[in-house]
Structure 1
Amino acid sequence: MSQRDTADHDRLVGWLENPSATRGIRFKLDDGSWQRRTYQELARRSLGAGAALADLGVRPGDVVPLVVPGGEDFVTQFFGVLAIGATPSVLPLPLALRAGEGYQTQLKAVTARIHPRHVVADPRYHDIVAESVARIGGGTEVVAPQYSDRVEDAPRARSDLAVLQFTSGSRGSPRGLRISMANMATNLRMIQNWIDPVGHGAVTWLPLYHDMGLVGGLLGALTLQVEHALMRPEQFIRDTPGWLAEYGRAPYTSMCMPNFGFERVLATVRADHLDGMDFSAVTGVISGAERIDPAVIARFAGLLAPHGFAVHALMPAYGLAEGTLAVTGVGKGDVPRLARVGGLERRLGEKLEVSEVVDLGTEPVAEPWNWQVSCGPPLAPARVEILDEDGAPQPEGVLGEIFVEGPSVAEGYVDAAPEDLARLNGGRLLTGDAGFMLDGELYVVGRLGDSVKINGQSVFVEDIEMELAASGIISRRHATVVAGVVRGEPKVLIVTERPLGDRLDDALSAVTSFTGAAGRAEVLNVKRGTIPLTSSRKPRRRSLWLAYLEGRLKERKDS
């Protein structure tokens, strides 16, 4: 192993050799209490986990899927796998995908691609995991998290892969990505140089099977051995004010979450919940994983501002699993910028009508669908370009596909097809996302696959959904917007699990303002649980649109 390879490996796993006896991670337990472990205790348990896995027959180079909730067992099993030269692959939990046949089908599809010899599953999930992997044959053994006292002489080896990361599935079926040690080490350096964490890290609740949760929520802080806290998504949902109170009582410096997290805070936290709290230590609030809603993050900043929170702590970012995680981000201490973009229909390769650029504040943002949030400049050494439909680089202010190049771009997909190599190969990535550059900063507009062309121009469902939500017509927790072509004509479909009632006409009118014709809009009321979600709780728009085309979306009878 070269000196560079050793350095990359140590960036992720080196803490096991010299763990802190004073700093550590707090884990939230099922009864609501917290249990703290020092990094020294976690390192010893991780080596014990690795020894137990080796005794079970796990060998260097094996891929070991983990179906384990976020907590101490997750940390120690993840690093136990790495310690013996195997590669962890973190899979969603049953509750993340509405457990049942859908979960088993997805788990079967995922494990069929990697044919693991062992899967580590929390005992409460053993049966559903065992039944799923049994369908692919091959004798995969499902084991519970185990530990050995044989720590000092535990086997040690090094893997070239840091993790086999599966995408969330928002672009289609989940895809396995080979994230090398070099990819991971580079991205961790990018994130740490960008955020510059000191002292305390975060109280993270993001799912650890998602790149934002694993890399941004856990590994970045853990590899620096800062004070950190870990809770599960369902704990955050049950007690969002309690999560926020951890920041108000202790000097945690970072937050990391998608729009949903901010919306959850705004829906559940009252001003009196914050009495006596101080958020002045919070210097980095990273928002990403989807199109950022400026109205939501402005309201979040306004809620906390009377208690020491500064708007320049907001750090909108752009990233994706194929880039390991982070690609661009607003600099620490910089106020995020908003660009007002005129025109509802947009053509790739054409200059956008940017009428003004302003700093984000804490005041309400009117017509948020007309504003794009800057996701900051590329994080060195990543390079970002905007390409037209022919693959030609475009100047600033022109809409196109976001292209990323750099050493943190994943090695490739598992079982890559020729079309995959055209998209992801040799550290170069065509993201499938649309955006533009302005003053060296990236603005993300939406996903090309979720847009529909009308009169040769692209209409993005993210714009429509943002207007509907901002106007109070829909809740993004219970509705989504999809678009495509039906019998040669563009169509925009609002799928809602709650009847719109007297807002139906408002919904159709809002869509018509984007599409230019009333006949291009439709509202479909469906039963709760109909909208398919990714493991990161985003709507699977392509799957939903296909179900509509195939007549599998059934109108709710009481609508």
Structure 2
Amino acid sequence: MKGEVTLSQRDTADHDRLVGWLENPSATRGIRFKLDDGSWQRRTYQELARRSLGAGAALADLGVRPGDVVPLVVPGGEDFVTQFFGVLAIGATPSVLPLPLALRAGEGYQTQLKAVTARIHPRHVVADPRYHDIVAESVARIGGGTEVVAPQYSDRVEDAPRARSDLAVLQFTSGSRGSPRGLRISMANMATNLRMIQNWIDPVGHGAVTWLPLYHDMGLVGGLLGALTLQVEHALMRPEQFIRDTPGWLAEYGRAPYTSMCMPNFGFERVLATVRADHLDGMDFSAVTGVISGAERIDPAVIARFAGLLAPHGFAVHALMPAYGLAEGTLAVTGVGKGDVPRLARVGGLERRLGEKLEVSEVVDLGTEPVAEPWNWQVSCGPPLAPARVEILDEDGAPQPEGVLGEIFVEGPSVAEGYVDAAPEDLARLNGGRLLTGDAGFMLDGELYVVGRLGDSVKINGQSVFVEDIEMELAASGIISRRHATVVAGVVRGEPKVLIVTERPLGDRLDDALSAVTSFTGAAGRAEVLNVKRGTIPLTSSRKPRRRSLWLAYLEGRLKERKDS
């Protein structure tokens, strides 16, 4: 796990892309941080740089050395920024871990924290004082004498030790397909992806008001580092602050010229559920030129309604920039170009065989009016961002032409170095800048359309039925809420089965739900609805359902029907 101090010109440029702002910080631009009382506190980059170097000096005094991996359990805020860059400044590597509240704190959180720290055996963990006890108890279980320390700062900034590591961050995946795994993101990986993102979005003057969790690749790289390393005017709040006051978050854009937004489909749904037209009186969204949507299946009806809500106040639909990315790619892989209107492809029929051409009946521009039957439409995630290369492969690994469904393959210098303690099957999927993503999709006119996770689909009569399609129809029809229900699938005693797991009774919509599933599976697949207690559906650190864990719990008989249903 030791990083290497490197001195070549290319290594220096990669290091400077991430950490160079510490050497010449702006005294006029800065970051606003939302505080617990709802007020905002602004720090210039000059102030943040000095605090970051002070954090690094304090960590060095505690015994942190170049090449060490230092997990951070710190909420998004000033302490997070300064501790993250303080670790980097002294040649160590930060690893951002979820907060207890993100994973319904308890035994589940401690189990995950123990699993993560057991993989890297850190000598030090930086934890916010409010999380000290739960973190200390978790790391104590693995032995090794890990020291849990609070964010600290030294006054001796000028003579603080400085070093370089070839490892930018140890990024843990969210765990939607099993236990979280650590990804080695090198300085070269990070620098390349930051260039890709910055050339694509091109923030000028102002960045975003970001609320995404910083332990997730979309929040850390896309929400924070892409803007911070350019030293644009930026703002940072925590996910729970966004949830509590979504209209207040949006109002920051209506009152100041922030140019970018970045969030998954859930974020747009939250805006639509909580923001009324009168909340936007007197606001101007014309400065917003890049709204990035990714991390989960993009619902074309949701983003169209979002654009329609803001359109009377200067928002342009071509500001929407759907994208595809994943932690193994550092983050961004493809994205709709700035100023281009996103496109939708209508995929007819239920033919979903890998290696076979899809029935694309229509391609249209995204507008502010939602399309009918959004589950039949795929949203373009744009072309590959240079220098990334994307191909679609069949089950034998052969490249496929446009319009053919297959596994998404990515190659390029931003693809992660690899997993910590990689198994042979890991190396077969991620190695040497080449990545088999496990996601299904197709290319059309040079743009990528993402269909769903291969591991979450089920084959029926040779066709792949994707649970994302079913879930989108159920949600669009108002049968389920994706906050309280999810769809999983697999094979039970040789028979394909689709299971709707809901934490709220479906009542008189039960038959509608079963009928919707049958429209995808036909008579060859069985459908079942299971009403469970609230909190039963396991979530990843990025709030996505852990479908594999849920399906295994069902197979093992651990998923119980709620008795009062």
Deviation sequence 1:349-377 (CA, Å, 0-9, x none): 00000001000000022100000000000
SS of 1:289's equivalent in the other structure is: coil
The equivalent position to 2:524 in structure 1, one of 512, 518, 524, is 518
Alpha-carbon distance in structure 2 between the residues aligned to 1:464 and 1:356: 21
Residues 392 and 399 in structure 2, CA contact (< 8 A), matched pair in contact too: yes
Partner Cα separation in structure 2 for residue 350 and residue 249 of structure 1: 49
Contact 1:345-1:514 at 8 Å conserved across structures: no
TM-score normalised by L of structure 2: 0.99
1:5 aligned counterpart, secondary structure: helix
In the alignment, is the contact (CA less than 8 A) between 2:496 and 2:525 conserved in 1?
no
Is 1:316–1:336's contact at 8 Å kept on the other side of the alignment? yes
Matched position secondary structure for 1:183: helix
Equivalent in the alignment of 1:72 = 78
Q: Measure the CA separation in 1 of the matches of 2:525 and 2:290.
A: 45
Within 1, Cα distance between the matches of 2:234 and 2:99? 23
- Give the 3-state SS of the residue equivalent to 1:517 in structure 2: helix
- Contact between 2:496 and 2:524, CA under 8 Å: does it hold in 1? no
For residue 519 of structure 1, report the CA deviation from its aligned partner. Answer: 6.1
1:256-287 Cα shifts (integer Å, max 9, x gaps): 00001000000000000000000000000000
| Distance apart, 1:38 and its partner CA | 0.1
Q: Partners in 2 of 1:80 and 1:192 — Cα distance?
A: 23
* In 2, Cα distance between equivalents of 1:260 and 1:436: 24
Aligned partners of 1:168 and 1:150: how far apart in 2? 37
Choose 223-232 or 169-178, whichever is displaced more: 169-178
* CA-to-aligned-CA distance 1:468-491 (integer Å, 9 cap, x gap): 000000000000000000000000
Does the 8 Å contact 1:341/1:353 carry over to 2?
Answer: yes
What per-residue deviation string (whole Å, max 9, x for no partner) do you get for residues 181-212 of structure 1? Answer: 00000000000000011010000000000000
**1:34 Cα offset (Å):** 0.1
**Cα distance in 2, alignment partners of residues 71 and 365 from structure 1:** 39
What is the rounded CA distance, in whole Å, between the counterparts of 2:282 and 2:93 in structure 1?
A: 45
1:90-135 superposed Cα distances (whole Å, 9 cap, x missing partner): 0000000000000000000000000000000000000000000000
Q: Is the 8 A contact 1:509 1:518 kept in 2?
A: no
2:95 is aligned, of 83, 89, 96, to 89
Paired position in structure 2 for 1:304:
310
Helix, strand or coil for the counterpart of 1:355?
strand
> Would the aligned equivalents of 2:461 and 2:524 in 1 still touch at CA under 8 Å?
no
Contact 2:458 2:491 in 1 (8 A): yes
Q: Deviations over 1:513-535 (max 9, x none)?
A: 01102860000000000000000
Q: Distance in 1 between matches of 2:337 and 2:351?
A: 31
Q: Retained in 1: the 8 A contact 2:460–2:524? A: no
* Aligned-residue offset at 1:172: 1.5
- Cα pair 1:508 1:518 within 8 Å, conserved: no
Deviation at 1:345? 3.8
Runs of 4+ in 1 over 2 A off after TM superposition: none
Q: How many residues align?
A: 559
- List alignment gaps of at least 5 residues for structure 1: none
Identity of aligned residues (%): 100
Contact 1:484 1:545 in 2 (8 A): yes
Give the conservation status (yes or no) of the 8 Å contact 2:177–2:549: no
| TM, length-normalised to structure 1 | 1.00
Distance in 2 (CA, whole Å) between partners of 1:375 and 1:80 is 35
Is the Cα contact below 8 Å between 1:350 and 1:399 reproduced in 2? Answer: yes
The CA distance in 1 between the partners of 2:352 and 2:427, in whole Å, is: 28
Q: Retained in 1: the 8 A contact 2:290–2:319?
A: yes
Whether the aligned pair in 2 keeps the contact of 1:207 and 1:213 (CA below 8 Å) is: yes
Alignment of 1:323-334 (within 5 A): 323-334=329-340
Q: 2:246, 2:428 → 1: CA distance?
A: 42
Partner of 1:248: 254
Is the CA contact (8 Å cut-off) linking 2:404 and 2:443 kept in structure 1? yes
3-state DSSP class of the match of 1:536? coil
5+ long unaligned stretches in structure 2: 1-6
**Are the aligned partners of 1:81 and 1:87 in contact in 2 as well (CA < 8 Å)?**
yes
Q: Is the 8 A contact 2:328 2:416 kept in 1?
A: yes
8 A contact 2:343–2:365 mirrored in 1: yes
Checking the alignment, whether the CA contact within 8 Å between 2:337 and 2:382 is kept in structure 1 is yes
Whether the 8 Å CA contact 1:63–1:88 is kept in 2: the answer is yes
Supply the distance in 2 between the matched residues of 1:519 and 1:406 (Cα, whole angstroms): 39
Deviations 1:19-76 (A, max 9, x none): 0000000000000000000000000000000000000000000000000000000000
Residues 221 and 228 of structure 1 are in contact (CA less than 8 Å); yes or no, is this contact kept in structure 2?
A: yes
